[in-house]
Structure 1
Amino acid sequence: MQQVRTPHVVVVMGVAGTGKTTIGPLLAARLGVPYAEGDDFHPPANITKMSAGVPLTDEDRWPWLDAIGAWAHGRAGLGGVVSSSALKRAYRDRLRAAAPGVVFVHLTGDRKLIEDRMAHRKGHFMPTALLDSQFATLQPLERDETGVAVDVSGSPEEITARAVDALRDLEESPAQPSQ
């Protein structure tokens, strides 16, 4: 398996259940950089809210995004992969403000597939009941945002390979962010 190396910090984004926690470490391994689990940056109050089925507000998310942004800033020029739902443009703008040059990998897919994956995962605080709020909040990458959209159908290895290929294509044509 060919290893691809990038000095960029890659944010693996998407709604709950798209596989950020699964794909993130696989992508980091392929890129030869460290991985940080975005959920680990949540303050305890956020986890308590989500565990109770209460969607987070923007005010709840700002400290979480700032913590992820600080990690990404510290990895600038070194590379890294971090997961974050980054559902709104404003959230991605905040991450870019902290760490200019971050690149987004937006994991996308069929809602039924994502819901099924969420229903079968164990030990995660995010209930399936919040999936509707996640989709309602989602603002896909815009043309002026550096990133790629990657379909989540198939095995984790297939999804990771698609992400690596898309990032490679993006790097070869940086003036044209793809979606």
Structure 2
Amino acid sequence: MLSAGERPQPPHASIVDSTVSKARIMPDLANGTNGVTSSKPAQMQHIWIVTGPAGCGKSTVGNVLRTELGVPFLEGDDYHPAANKDKMGHGIPLTDEDRWDWLISLRQAAIDALSPSEDNNFHPPAGVVVACSALKQKYRDVMRVAAYGSSSVQIHFVYLKLSEEVLMQRVTQRESHYMKSGMVHSQLAALEEPKGEWDAITINVEGTMEEVQRNVIDAVVEKLAEYK
């Protein structure tokens, strides 16, 4: 079993190698060192990526974690280009090619959120929460690059699991959203659950919202305890 500090190389190296060198610039900046070695231990920062298909509650859970952890929250849908939103709005599933730029943009936004800025009074936050479907392992591998090159940045995936029937009900009830109910089936067909992925937590979200929130918070608090 891997310890909290170990990071296995993802199998999809050809996908992530082209951008990993850029991501390695981030950790030193995030900790305000500008690459200069400091005797003071760096603050551990956590990237929490809330994953799952449309309707699983990523935005709701993400906002709960934002409040609980006191960190920024990034809504992955906001980083889709207009062309992607248009395709999904017309019931056309996204291809891998449609997703790469979106994932890279979202990953960079997460990296930027960890850095000192006027938004955080130049005090880097303890982490950031990101809502991102990350349906396939290779998509998660792209996001994992955000933590490469720094022992003070750790990434976690919080996978929200529930049935297709409930997903359909939830998506149908949503108003003014480009993701329509017809897309649920295609997302589930593409879904690769993070079984056996060392940095992933699976949460069953079939219960009430109060139960879901409590289960998610408990799981995150338990994971954070491993780094103390």
| TM category, shorter | 0.7 to 0.9
2:206 to 146, 153, 156: 153
Residue ranges of structure 2 left out of the alignment (5+ in a row): 1-43, 115-123, 149-153
CA distance in 1 between counterparts of 2:146 and 2:47 reads 12
Deviation of the 1:173 alpha carbon: 4.4
Deviating more after overlay: 151-160 vs 46-55:
151-160
Alignment of 1:1-179 (within 5 A): 7-76=45-114, 78=125, 79-100=127-148, 101-173=154-226
In the alignment of these two chains, the number of paired residues is 169
Gaps of 5+ in 1: 1-5, 175-179
TM-score, with normalisation over the residues of structure 1? 0.88
**Cα distance in 2 for residues equivalent to 1:145 and 1:75:** 24
Counterpart contact for 2:156–2:200, Cα < 8 Å: yes
**Structure 1 stretch displaced more, 162-171 or 70-79:** 70-79
Aligned to 1:177: none
2:98 partner amino acid: D
State the shift of 1:40 in Å: 0.2
Superposition RMSD in Å: 1.7
Contact preservation (8 Å) 1:22, 1:156: no
Partners of 1:161 and 1:38 lie apart in 2 by 23
Identity across matched positions, percent: 39
AA of the residue aligned to 1:131: V
Larger Rg computed on CA atoms: 2
Using the size of structure 2 for normalisation, the TM-score is 0.70
Asked whether the equivalents of residues 72 and 113 of structure 2 are also in contact (C-alpha less than 8 Å), the reply is no
Per-residue deviation, 1:142? 3.3
Out of 11-20 and 97-106, give the one that drifted further. 97-106
Q: What is the SS of the residue equivalent to 2:53? A: coil
- C-alpha distance in structure 2 between counterparts of 1:144 and 1:53, whole Å: 30
Higher alpha-carbon deviation: 122-131 or 160-169: 160-169
SS in 2 for 1:107: strand
